[in-house]
Amino acid sequence: MKIQVETVSPVERKVTIEVDPDRVAKELDRAYASLSRRVKLRGFRPGKAPRKVLERQFKAEVEGEVAERIVTETFTEAVRVEALPVVAAPSVSITEGVAEGKPMRYSARVEVKPKLEPKDYKGLEVTRKPPEVTDEAVSAELTKIQDSMAQLVAVEGRFEAQEGDWAVIDHEGTIDGKPFDGSTAEGVTVKVAPGPITEGNVEALKGKKIGDTVELDEPFPADHRDEALRGKTAHMKVTLKALKVRQAPALDDALAKELGIEGVETLDALRTRIRSDLEKREKRRAESELKDALVKAALAKNEFEVPPALVERAIDTMIEGAAERFARQGIDIRQLQLDVSRMRADLREQALLQVRGALLLEAIADAEKVEVTDEDLEAEAARIADELGMPLAKVQQQTRGKDAREALKNRIREEKALSLLSSAATIQQ
């Protein structure tokens, strides 16, 4: 096999391969032998049909399959021999196909990682906001908890709706005099507040008494999830049946105990836990911002081209992550009718930064001869288990496979490269 590699760009190679006639012949022999055992031809027992008979009926199909197999095998061999850091499947062009007694020739264009020689990555100057947790932040978290535990209770001694009330209503509606899907319902709870009824707001109820009916025209947005209602205006009749207000529980030991957090029985213990959680969050925030600042500062001193395939793959990962987060909330992202092309365009800059940062950190780790030991892997597994509250054995099981272990090693190596940048940088608070 003859291999020729041409540099098209820093991130693309053209690989030209010539496959020996003997190898082509052997692959053809193997393909026809396999075909003979599989097909049934009139007048021949399985495996006994002459090759010439098979060639008359299946020549194009067999040669196509053989060419595909030869390309797959020989390109993989060429990548290994030439040590090409490919990042995507090749685009193949066959110049001379499969033929008995002749070589097969093809070329493949493929994206590769750029060869980087990182420079000026030591002595970077960056700023970061130090981690800080104030009493106000703790109080704000307590208020969020208090609000999340609030319940709707019936209004007593008042029959007139005020802004901010929650109203129980019956409604019926029409578009051009005809009912529509979802136009009629009973016992619906809405808020007496400005905003569209499609978002649960009916401002027109303000000042109305229980039993009153109001009529209003409600336009549906052009991008409404129901295509039949887009841009239409509904005439609604809304009857006020009852009034409620949100009532938050008292901020006391009983509330703290009701949360069911292990070790938290009093309000003071809850404050302590909140502060501890906020301190961990702030520490992670500060570390993340420092890492971003270091990577951006290093990238500013190192310009290089990025393989488009890696950027697209990073975008795919981001979208998959978003879909998983929605799924955990019981939402199928496919039902949201998102503009995927626009989403990908919006994510491209972030993905490009992510890929450039990863490539540069990898190059810095190479330049500094950073190694990852078994002890490093064990320590990282323990850290993940602690952070996620998972048993260590489960984390170890999840990272035992070859791909998972390699991903873990790469992450540790990247963290070590970042630590190197941090230790050599001037950091202003």
Q: Which residues of 213-246 are buried (b: 16+ CB within 10 A; e: fewer)?
A: ebebebebeeeeeeeebeeeebebebbbeebebe
Residue 275 and residue 413 share a domain: yes
Residue 146 lies in a domain: no
Q: Kindly tell me if the per-residue pLDDT of 45 is higher than 70.
A: no
In degrees and rounded to multiples of 5, residue 218 shows phi and psi of -120, 110
Residues 6+ apart with CB under 8 A from 334: none
pLDDT of the residue at 109: 97
Q: Kindly tell me if the per-residue pLDDT of 97 is higher than 80.
A: yes
Pairing of strands 91-96, 2-9: unpaired
Residue 124 lies in a domain: no
Which of 58, 22, 42, 112 has its CA nearest to residue 310?
Answer: 112
Residue 141 lies in a domain: no
Percent of the chain surpassing pLDDT 90: 69
Residue 254 lies in a domain: no
pLDDT of the residue at 399: 86
Residue 258 lies in a domain: no
For residue 119, count CB atoms less than 10 angstroms from its CB and return exposed for 0-12, middle for 13-18, buried for 19 or more.
exposed
**Domain termination residue (choose one: 184, 218, 247):** 247
For residue 197, count CB atoms less than 10 angstroms from its CB and return exposed for 0-12, middle for 13-18, buried for 19 or more.
buried
Q: Are 392 and 265 in contact (CB under 8 A)?
A: no
Residue 130 lies in a domain: no
Which of 304, 254, 354 has its CA nearest to residue 112?
Answer: 304
Q: pLDDT (tens digit, 9 = 90+) per residue, 271-296?
A: 999 999 999 999 999 999 999 999 99
What are the C-alpha distances in Å from 226 to residues 202, 219, 327, 337? 20, 13, 21, 11
Residue 193 and residue 295 share a domain: no
Q: Are 310 and 348 in contact (CB under 8 A)?
A: no
Q: Which residues of 62-72 are buried (b: 16+ CB within 10 A; e: fewer)?
A: bbebbbeebbe
Q: Which residues make beta-bridge pairs with 12?
A: 9, 111
**Domain termination residue (choose one: 63, 80, 111):** 111
Residue 327 and residue 392 share a domain: yes
**Domain termination residue (choose one: 180, 215, 247):** 247
The residue behind tokens 């000026």 is 120
3-state secondary structure at position 194: coil
Range of the domain at 64: 2-111
Residue 305 and residue 165 share a domain: no
Residue 205 and residue 271 share a domain: no
Q: What is the mean pLDDT of residues 370-395?
A: 89
pLDDT of the residue at 47: 66
Domain count, the chain: 3
Residue 257 lies in a domain: no
Residue 340 and residue 226 share a domain: no
Q: Kindly tell me if the per-residue pLDDT of 40 is higher than 90.
A: no
Residue 137 lies in a domain: no
Residue 217 and residue 325 share a domain: no
pLDDT of the residue at 43: 65
Residue 414 and residue 296 share a domain: yes
Residue 278 and residue 389 share a domain: yes
In degrees and rounded to multiples of 5, residue 275 shows phi and psi of -60, -45
Return contacts of 196-205, CB within 8 angstroms, 24+ apart: 196/221, 197/236, 198/224, 202/167, 202/169, 202/238, 203/163, 204/238, 205/161, 205/165, 205/167, 205/169, 205/238, 205/240
For the chain, how many residues are written? 429
Tell me the whole-structure pTM to 2 decimals: 0.73
| Average model confidence (pLDDT) across the chain | 91
Q: Kindly tell me if the per-residue pLDDT of 74 is higher than 90.
A: yes
Q: What is the CATH number of the domain that holds 335?
A: 1.10.4030.10
Residue 84 and residue 157 share a domain: no
Residue 385 and residue 269 share a domain: yes
Q: What is the mean pLDDT of residues 194-208?
A: 90
Residue 161 and residue 60 share a domain: no
Q: What is the CATH number of the domain that holds 166?
A: 3.10.50.40
Please provide the distance, in angstroms rounded to a whole number, between the alpha carbons at the two ends of the chain. Answer: 60
